Amino acid sequence: MKANFAALMRAVQRGLPLPFGAVTANRRSFVALDNLVDLLITCIDHPAAANRTLLVSDGEDLSTADLLRRLGRAMNRPARLLPVPPVLLQAGAALLGKRDMAQRLLGNLQVDITHTRDTLGWTPPLSVDEGLRRAVAGLQTP
């Protein structure tokens, strides 16, 4: 979702109205780069990590609308969200041949990190909001 995420960040930064205000029922897992690196470092030294598949996220799942609002807060800008029903967004995307993009923005993609937490005793060191603040700072760096 890297390209979509960057495009959403730029849209919020520019104050563009976005039609995702009613997209509140979906849940998406995100992972800040710092949290991913922290888990990788933990795995290097942790004997229980060997030969395991471990999932990573920031530990808090967000709806698309919540993500955009929190991005706006991280930028000290309001996220201008229009309350377009998700079914209309899906229909419009289908007409434009953009079903995949609509699924990435409107659908669920949750990762359960319970096994990772329990196996390694790992907790993401950064909150979602801190990860978003750092992502925004990276966007604003020339």
Q: What is the pLDDT of residue 140?
A: 67
Confidence check: pLDDT of 122 > 70:
yes
DSSP state of 131: H
In this model, does residue 1 exceed pLDDT 80?
A: no
Rounded distance, CA 136 to CA 10, Å?
Answer: 9
Q: In this model, does residue 136 exceed pLDDT 70?
A: yes
Task: Tell how far CA 6 is from the center of its chain.
Answer: 11
For residue range 41-95, what is the model confidence (pLDDT) as tens digits?
999 999 999 999 999 999 999 999 999 999 999 999 999 999 999 999 999 999 9
- At 2 the pLDDT is 58
Given a contact cutoff of 8 angstroms between Cβ atoms, the answer to whether 36 and 71 are in contact is no
User: Taking a C-beta distance cutoff of 8 angstroms, is the pair 51, 13 a contact?
Assistant: no
What is the reported pTM?
A: 0.90
Rounded Cα gap, residues 121 and 32, in angstroms: 19
